[in-house]
Amino acid sequence: MSYLLDIFTIAAVSVGAFFFLAGTVGLLRFPDTLTRLHALTKADNLGLGLVVLGLLPRAQGPLEALKLVTVWLLVLLASGTVSQLIGRAARRGSLLE
């Protein structure tokens, strides 16, 4: 049983890391700010969710699992807000270089 959980952890964290890589490739290759924001927010949050999902079997008890999920939710909140703010600033043309 724990063998299966280890396989699950490795698989989920690897797929999450791949999504992070995809987001970074998007950051480097997309032409302007709005498309880069799109790549970053979607891919990175999904990647983090998969990493958290993969780490859940290794948590010591339900409280720690809840903390991991809370981390993911907070990052969702922060990155969603920040991308909206950056997007609005980019539309207005008031971004710092």
- The site string for another protein over 8-27 (x = CB under 8 A, - otherwise) reads --------------------
Among 7, 21, 25, 84, binds another protein (CB under 8 A): 84
DSSP of 45-83, one letter per residue? Answer: HHHHHHHHHHHGGGSSSHHHHHHHHHHHHHHHHHHHHHH
- The site string for another protein over 64-83 (x = CB under 8 A, - otherwise) reads ----------x--xx--x--
Among 5, 21, 34, 85, binds another protein (CB under 8 A): 85
Distance from C-alpha of 32 to C-alpha of 49, rounded to nearest angstrom: 26
Binding flag, residue 96, another protein (CB under 8 A): yes
Distance from C-alpha of 13 to C-alpha of 53, rounded to nearest angstrom: 8
Distance from C-alpha of 95 to C-alpha of 73, rounded to nearest angstrom: 27
Name the site residues for another protein (rule: CB under 8 A): 74, 77-78, 81, 84-85, 88, 96-97
